[in-house]
Amino acid sequence: MSTSHPGSRSRSQRIIIRSLLVIFMSVQTLLVPAAHAAMIGTDQILAEESRADHQARIASVLERQDAADALSRFGVDQDRLQERMDRLSDAELAQLAQQAEDLPAGEGALGVLVFLLVLLILLDLLGVTNVFPAIQSGR
């Protein structure tokens, strides 16, 4: 019986075939995406842009007169606020932006205060404002 049968191959032959297959496949997977992998992908830019978009939406609330008044009453420095905002994680920013979007456009001073309070807690700025002077005096 000389017809080829898988079992009739010698052990070394099988090892050679297998290792050739492994080499071939790994080389192929390495080569094909190489040209694409070099490009800057959409996901990276998308993450940057959505962060910027969230920051812009939060900023648009902070620019409102009632928000600016409340912040100055709390004694929060706008520059400091901006600086801390850069440290927020993407998820925290997204959450704040969603809240900013849900605020009614015209009135709703209370809604703005809730928003500011959440913002200040997230930014860990309560201790340095005079909202809670008792906390500040404890330092």
Partner 1 sequence: MLCLTRTAWRAVTLLAALTLLALTGCQSRAPLPATDSTAHQVSDVPFFPQEDYQCGPAALATVLGSAGVQVSDQTLVDEVWLPERQGSLAIEMVAAARARERLVYPVRNQDQLFQSLEADLPVLVMQNLALPIRPRWHFAVVTGFENRGNTVILNTDTREAATMRWNRFVRTWARADYQGWVILPPGQLPPHARPLHLVQALEELTGSAGPAAAAPYWQQAATQWPQDYLLQFALGNHLWGREDTASAIQAWERAARARPEAFAPWHNLALAYAGQGCNDLAEGAWQHANQTDASRERLAQLRERLDATVPATATCPPDNL
Residues engaged in binding partner 1 (CB under 8 A): 35-36, 38-46, 49-50, 53, 104, 110, 113-114, 117, 130-134, 137
19 vs 72 by CB, closer to partner 1? 72
What's the CA gap between 59 and 62, in Å, rounded? 5
117 vs 128 by CB, closer to partner 1? 117
14 vs 101 by CB, closer to partner 1? 101
21 vs 90 by CB, closer to partner 1? 90
CA 99 → CA 53, 61, 73, 110, 111, distances in Å?
14, 10, 22, 13, 9
Min CB(134)–partner 1 separation in Å: 5
Quick count: other Cβ atoms within 10 Å of Cβ 81?
18
Min CB(74)–partner 1 separation in Å: 9
Min CB(101)–partner 1 separation in Å: 8
Min CB(20)–partner 1 separation in Å: 26
Min CB(23)–partner 1 separation in Å: 22
Which DSSP category does 5 fall into? -
What's the CA gap between 134 and 97, in Å, rounded? 30
Burial call 53-73: b when 16+ CB within 10 Å, e when fewer: ebbebbeebbebebbeebbee
9 vs 75 by CB, closer to partner 1? 75
